[in-house]
Structure 1
Amino acid sequence: MYDENEQLPQVAPDNGPVSLPADVLLVVPVRNLVMFPGAVTQVALTRDFSMRAAQEAVQHGHKLGIVLQKDPSVDTPEPDDLYRIGTTVTVVRYLKAPNGVHHLICQGEQRFRTLDYLSGLPFLAARFDLIPDQVTADPNVEARADLLKQKAIEAIELLPQVPPELAPALQNIESPGALADMVAGLIDIKPSEKQTILESLKVRDRLDRVIEFLTHRVEVLKLSREIGEQTQGKLDERQREYVLREQLKTIKKELGEDDTQSELEELRQAIADAKMPEEVEKQAQKELRRLEGMPDSSTEHSMVRTYLDWLVALPWAKSDAEAIDIAKAREILD
């Protein structure tokens, strides 16, 4: 819980507590976060009315709730811009970062539904109903909870850098509803999709939605790993080929059998003997110097070598004797 003796960072002069009915909840709208019961989350408060609501709740003991905006681009949301179902929270800590942004560290408690919003306040506040979680001894629910645990463990095994204590923590959750909420908070899906899970009040429906989303994510993770392994295999094969070629080149040098330099010398001599025009010969010598610095296994090495061989093969120094036959030309034209 928050330490009441700790000084809160102020957003404006404190004019004292606002008189609110007991059945009113202070609301902090968020752009891309869905708060689930049981989750501990840090919320960045970047708007003045959100800071005021959080401070009012902490200083004067009012209840606080987190609600998702329908459109994250709206800077000053009205009640119609917010989903009706959110989560009440307990404030663990309220702090101000060095960059000036206020942060609310809170733990989700229970689902609620807003009934109507109050007007004329410096923050959002609404009358609300708490939504209790259904507890039933339904074999269908238990079976879905077991399946969800299996899928969650499968997803954890596919993810890198997952805390080792996460899998045991999931296995130890006995409440199917709490299990669905915890997994839903961890899945990498859109906020609007998480909101549909939050609004699934029947535990069986909630489990079905989470299993559906998690199954899709598991398939995506499997494909990503498969593609990664295939790509790595190709890279390893190319790297192995390059290393072997370099080792072969070194061995030939040690044995005095290195024919790379002799081939380059022959090519250099062929360029000189081809009697190319000056500009063409300059370009050929430039490409030859590039060729000397390339590994034999590279694609560009093959292309440059083919280009130089083609230049050398052209009959630069040869010309056919011209035969001008006016009579023959007239015959052809006529």
Structure 2
Amino acid sequence: MVAAATHATEAGRHPAMPIRDFVPFPGGIVPFYTDRAKTIQALGRAFQGARQIIVAIQRSSDVDEPGLADVYDVGVLGRVLTLDQLADGRWKALTQIHRRVMIKDFVGEAAGYVADVEVLDEQPAPDVPDLILMKTKAYFIAHSFRDTIKHGYPRVPQIKPPFERIRDPGRLADMIVHIELSIPDKQALLATLDPVRRLERVGDLLQGDA
């Protein structure tokens, strides 16, 4: 009953912000910076209300006034933790990303951007410890390889907390996806609701990235 009530709250119409050249994943806390008037208005409404905000990823960074056709179908719902104006006039919103959502409508109104969304539930996470260990090792090996190239000396890959405690393949995929990938590739991963498939795909991209 609690989960159903939460979904009822999260689905529906919310203040929204479009973002360029970045794909946030659930579980992270992300600073967003903006000087767009409608985004600032939406953030203000969110911060003064329930603090829920829809983050929509733009298909092209060249669009200044995006509509529904200019953002990807799958975005995320987050909670605005802090909202501050910076010395250069921009606003910084520290936002905790909670879950994936399907964006049904996205418009810019006089009071800021708004989006109508449906909550996307991931498929149940199976117990796949071997896959999790293999992809975790691949992640740290890739990082060690890049450090070797950058610093000129080899580094021994070590699995570090909290990765050693992860048991959910979808959660692990969302944690290690922050590698050098294109926006469409990351967006495709965000839209992959099967946790095992998402982790397998991240692992494949990691090996290609290394």
Secondary structure (helix, strand or coil) at the match of 2:208 reads helix
Letter in 1 for 2:71: L
Cα 1:52–1:201 change in 2 (3 A) is same
Matches within 5 A, 1:1-334: 23-61=12-50, 63-117=52-106, 120-139=109-128, 142-160=129-147, 167-184=160-177, 186-218=178-210
Tell me, yes or no, if the aligned pair for 1:25 and 1:62 is still in contact at 8 Å.
no
**Paired position in structure 1 for 2:4:** none
Q: Residue 150 of structure 1: CA displacement? A: 1.0
- CA-to-aligned-CA distance 1:182-205 (integer Å, 9 cap, x gap): 111x21111221101001111122
Q: Residue 134 of structure 1: CA displacement? A: 2.3
Q: Residue 135 of structure 1: CA displacement? A: 2.3
Tell me, yes or no, if the aligned pair for 2:38 and 2:110 is still in contact at 8 Å.
no
Tell me, yes or no, if the aligned pair for 2:127 and 2:167 is still in contact at 8 Å.
no
- CA-to-aligned-CA distance 1:201-250 (integer Å, 9 cap, x gap): 111221122011111112xxxxxxxxxxxxxxxxxxxxxxxxxxxxxxxx
Distance in 2, Cα, partners of 1:34 & 1:43: 11
Larger relative contact order, structure 1 or 2 (CA cutoff 8 Å, min sep 6): 2
TM-score, L = length of structure 2: 0.83
RMSD: 2.3
Distance in 1, Cα, partners of 2:125 & 2:71: 31
Q: Residue 47 of structure 1: CA displacement? A: 0.6
Q: Residue 133 of structure 1: CA displacement? A: 2.4
Secondary structure (helix, strand or coil) at the match of 2:160 reads helix
TM-score, L = length of structure 1: 0.54
Tell me, yes or no, if the aligned pair for 1:24 and 1:63 is still in contact at 8 Å.
no
Letter in 2 for 1:176: P
Distance in 2, Cα, partners of 1:93 & 1:177: 27
Structure with max Cα Rg: 1
Secondary structure (helix, strand or coil) at the match of 2:138 reads helix
Distance in 2, Cα, partners of 1:122 & 1:165: 49
Tell me, yes or no, if the aligned pair for 1:197 and 1:206 is still in contact at 8 Å.
yes
Distance in 2, Cα, partners of 1:99 & 1:120: 25
Distance in 2, Cα, partners of 1:165 & 1:43: 31
Secondary structure (helix, strand or coil) at the match of 2:135 reads helix
Letter in 2 for 1:86: G
Letter in 1 for 2:139: A
Secondary structure (helix, strand or coil) at the match of 1:146 reads helix
Q: Which runs of 5+ in 2 are unaligned?
A: 1-10
Q: Residue 166 of structure 1: CA displacement? A: 7.8
Q: Greater strand share, 1 or 2?
A: 2
Q: Residue 68 of structure 1: CA displacement? A: 0.7
Cα 1:169–1:62 change in 2 (3 A) is closer
Q: Which runs of 5+ in 1 are unaligned?
A: 1-21, 219-334
Cα 1:48–1:158 change in 2 (3 A) is same
**Paired position in structure 1 for 2:6:** none
